[in-house]
Amino acid sequence: MKFRKICVLTSGGDAPGMNACVRAVTRAANARGVQVMGSLGGYRGMIHDEFVDLTNRAVSNKIQLSGTFIYSDRCLEFKEEAGMQKAIAVLKSHEIDGVVAIGGDGTFRGATDLSQRGIPTIGIPGTIDNDITASDNTIGFDTAMQSVVDDVDKLRDTCESHARCNVVEVMGRGAGDITLNTAIATGAVAAVIPECEFDEEATIEKMIRLRREGKRSFLIIVSEAFPEVGPALVKKITSVTKELAEKEGNDRLWIESKFCRMAHIVRGGSPSLADRVLATKMGVRAVDELLAGNSDLVVVEREGKITTCGIGWSQVLDRMYKGTLKEGMLDAYTPEQIAEMQKFIEEKKETFRTTYAMLNELAN
């Protein structure tokens, strides 16, 4: 099939580096003689016929910008068959032969739906959360972590001055990747993540021991998967240490604690070098895959190399990782493929456990 025109969209939560990816898709396609249209606001643009022509000049001066200049939206209409058919009709009216969809797992479900209805579609993982199991890194993850580190370093300054603890909640949805890495990078005393067991009592005991040894500043990084944990932990640390300080008549043992929810602040900011390069490589690869006649794939990074896997495969890996596989989901795969998936998941979990143990060992 000869591709004449493709469409690119950004969907779901925005992530730094999405613009660099749109630029790469555009320039790679244009270089191969293929026109590009940007669907405005994710799948919404396809339904409402809202597009922008993406020429090489239209994507200039965008590589360094965060957010997404072709906008993102959570388009519920696209989840319905009627909405999807409307989108397909609009795509056909523009003679669009293929789609590159940049986003997270929801975006990929839409990409599969389009692929199955005859519109070749390739997904690119654009999300700060790093929760696409099949890819070692997602676009925006590196920048978001650096933003957390920059801000937590500032909190540490004041913790050290006042001999305090700061409990910081960071984004990442159900994945603890941002939390664990930033806990290590900020020298936190503990991290609370969905992947590993957090021992609250042992952490507070350790903090008290460290305070007796003269440690002044304490940081604990908590995943947004546990919205109640951060504020509760602050209360607990404050009350337990206050009681101890009173009992021993030593006010230095009191560890005054504060809570900080970083939320969307870390979704902004100029994309890091790593995210710009990843976005560029993935964008070019997605165009190459489409033009080679492939569909229903997600571009991933594995051990530093850009490669692809089926979107279905990627979704099974996500579910296997989270333990949410449903009956029949593995039916399409051979025992060897299932064993390969299980090995991959086990290795990823083991890396998490080892890194978590390392954090706890060094937090001393």
What residue ranges bind ligand ADP (CB under 6 A)?
11-13, 42-43, 74-75, 78-79, 103-107, 109-110, 113, 127
Taking the least distance from each CB to ligand ADP, the nearer of 80 and 153 is 80
Residue 129 annotated among the catalytic residues of the structure: yes
Spatial contact of 248 and 44, defined as CB atoms under 8 Å apart: no
Shortest spacing between CB 15 and ligand ADP, in angstroms: 9
Comparison of 14 and 219: residue with beta carbon closer to ligand ADP: 14
Judged by CB, which is closer to ligand ADP: 31, or 89? 89
Q: Classify strands 98-103 and 5-10 as parallel, antiparallel or unpaired.
A: parallel
CB of 129 to ligand ADP, least distance (A): 8
Is residue 207 a contact partner of residue 255, using CB atoms and an 8 Å limit?
A: yes
CB of 11 or CB of 115, closer to ligand ADP: 11
- The minimum distance between CB 149 and ligand ADP, in angstroms, equals 23
**Active-site hit among 97, 129, 151, 275:** 129
Least distance in Å: CB of 199 to ligand ADP? 32
* Residue number, 106 or 172, with CB nearest to ligand ADP: 106
CB of 211 to ligand ADP, least distance (A): 41
Active centre residues (catalytic): 129
